[in-house]
Amino acid sequence: MTSGSQVLVRPARNVRGSVVLPGDKSISHRYAMLAGVASGLSRLENYSTGADCASTLACMRALGAGWEQKENVIEVQGSGLSLAAPTRALDCGNSGSTMRMLSGIVAAQNFTSEMVGDESLSRRPMERVIKPLTAMGAQISSQQGKPPLRITGAQLKAIDYKIPVASAQVKSCLLFAGLFADGETRIEEPLRTRDHGEVALRAFGAQLERKSLGAGSEVRIRGGQSLRGVEARIPGDLSSAAFFLCAAALFPESQLAIPHLLMNPTRARLLDVLMQMGLRISVTQLDQVNGEMVGSLQIQGGELKGITIAGADSAALIDEIPVLAAIAPYTEQGIEVRDAKELRVKESDRIAAVATNLRRMGATVDEREDGLRIPGQQALHGAEIDSFSDHRIAMAFAIAALRADGETLIQGAEAAAISHPAFFQALEEVAER
Ligand code: S3P
């Protein structure tokens, strides 16, 4: 099935079975970073197997936080709030989360760190963290706002900061920095984004205050609090589940089970949207683990109606839009995406990547600066797809391929390993032919 970096995906007639997903990527990054600056041992079960989360662990080791893998558990020996000066550049690989969130921690250390990334990460905007961290007292140089970053840490001062563009990575970066700062840091976000940073800080023993502010929110954290290690089982990644949920949505007879999945309300908008589109989803064994909701899903196919994603939904569904857009031609009324300009500065320009690949499969697509309009009731044919070295594009088009006429060749399929190394095997297991 896999040859080098290409994967051939054949059409399916149904999706059936059960999928176990890697630990949530957003939570894994945050736990690894906080475990590194906590005191004592943390045990992180079901830590994401994705290459991005391995980048975070490698950076933490370079900063003196030792860890060991024991079967499905990563044991991190916390260093307390002071890390060790790295002897070489911190390699964040493809991971924007690693660079942006870890910059909030290294900005508070009494040494200089260099943070580098791969070609894709080297093109991504970092001013969003450089500006507020500089205002807190760190010295940061960059290549016109892009990586590599050279960060000279300082005793930070608290900040009162309104984040201009909704970003959970920026929010977490500043909360992490705020933990080390003198005084109380207050962060305001224009739209509510995923709250794993806040939930994780509490799980590690920090106190913070949160309040809704219209469609957004405010978080306050006092500096100088110490963290203690945790025992955690990381729930399955909801953004990885999105590919399988969309696969199930393609066939009325689908029957899929997904155990132990993250159900955090700031991430679960996808489930509402898919139910509005006609997928039947029931949740059992709902539970809370270290402040995060977890549940098991039973999914049944149904109709496949169209939808419009705009405003706060675009921020809430930012990682799931590529796969929703990739199945849009098969919906009854099509899908329109607006207010999603951030997609242009992800691992690839995801608006352009989706439009290019859908057209290769024969679809009509209207590409716009901040989104896409994709008419429904279109038949697609198999084609050669380019992942643009972006995991979510590779996986989104493997899903679109399931209902196409003929085979689809995904070039650059290895990108899937960034978040879900076993993706293609897992898909083969549930795709009935
Ligand atoms: C993430 C936040 C989102 C998302 C990314 C993970 C996080 O990025 O796209 O995959 O874990 O906080 P932004 O915060 O830049 O929107």
Per residue in 267-276, pLDDT tens? Answer: 999 999 999 9
Q: Which of 167, 173, 292, 323 to mutate for ligand 1's pocket (most ligand atoms within 8 Å of CB)?
A: 167
Name the closest-CA residue to atom 11, ligand 1: 26
State phi, psi for 160 to the nearest 5 degrees: -115, 110
Question: What integer best gives the mean pLDDT of the chain?
Answer: 97
Look up the pTM and report it. Answer: 0.98
Residues 6+ apart with CB under 8 A from 425: none
CB burial of residue 246 (10 Å; 0-12, 13-18, 19+):
buried
Centre of ligand 1 to C-alpha 325, Å, is: 19
Rg of the Cα atoms in the chain: 21
Rounded Cα distance, 19 and 133, in Å: 40
Name the nearest CA neighbour of 195 among 30, 36, 420, 21.
30
Name 272's Cβ contacts closer than 8 Å, sequence gap at least 6.
Answer: none
CA distance 10 to 16: 16
How far apart, in whole angstroms, are the C-alpha atoms of residue 311 and residue 319? 15
Q: Measured on CA atoms in the order 408, 412, 416, 417, is the torsion positive or negative?
A: positive
Mean pLDDT calculated for residue range 9-25: 98
> Nearest residue CA, atom 15 of ligand 1?
167
Q: Which tens digit of pLDDT belongs to each residue from 277-311? A: 999 999 999 999 999 999 999 999 999 999 999 99
Q: Is the pLDDT of residue 210 over 80?
A: yes
Please name the helix (run of DSSP H) or strand (run of DSSP E) that holds residue 410, with its range, or none. strand 408-411
Residues 6 or more apart whose CB falls under 8 angstroms from that of 409 comprise 6, 7, 8, 9, 382, 383, 384, 385
Which residues, other chains included, contact 214 with Cβ-Cβ below 8 Å and sequence gap of 6+?
A: none
Per-residue pLDDT reduced to its tens digit, 86-141: 999 999 999 999 999 999 999 999 999 999 999 999 999 999 999 999 999 999 99
CB 104 within 8 A of CB 175: yes
How is residue 146 written in tokens?
A: 């892009």
Among 169, 317, 348, which is best to mutate for testing ligand 1, by the most ligand atoms less than 8 A from CB? 169
* pLDDT computed for residue 114 by the predictor: 98
CB neighbours of 199 closer than 8 A, spacing ≥ 6? 264, 290, 291, 292
pLDDT digits (tens, 9 = 90+) for 212-254: 999 999 999 999 999 999 999 999 999 999 999 999 999 999 9
pLDDT at position 351: 99
The set of catalytic residues is: 319
The share of the chain scoring above pLDDT 70, in percent, equals 99
Q: How confident is the model at residue 3 (pLDDT cuts 50, 70, 90)?
A: very low
Count H helices and E strands in the chain, helices first.
13, 25
How many other CB atoms sit within 10 Å of the CB of residue 119? 8
CB of 247 within 8 A of CB of 60?
no
Distance of CA 224 from the midpoint of ligand 1 (Å): 26
* pLDDT at residue 2 is higher than 50: no
Bridge partners of 161, per DSSP, are 187
Atom of ligand 1 nearest to the CA of 346: 9
Q: Which residues contact 302 (CB under 8 A, 6 or more apart)?
A: 252, 278, 279, 280
Rounded to the nearest angstrom, the distance between the alpha carbon of 399 and the centre of ligand 1 is 22
How far is the centre of ligand 1, averaged over its atoms, from the C-alpha of 28 (Å)? Answer: 13
Question: Is 167's C-beta closer than 6 angstroms to any atom of ligand 1?
Answer: yes
Residue 224 CB-density burial (10 A; 0-12 exposed, 13-18 middle, 19+ buried): exposed
pLDDT in tens, 396-410: 999 999 999 999 999
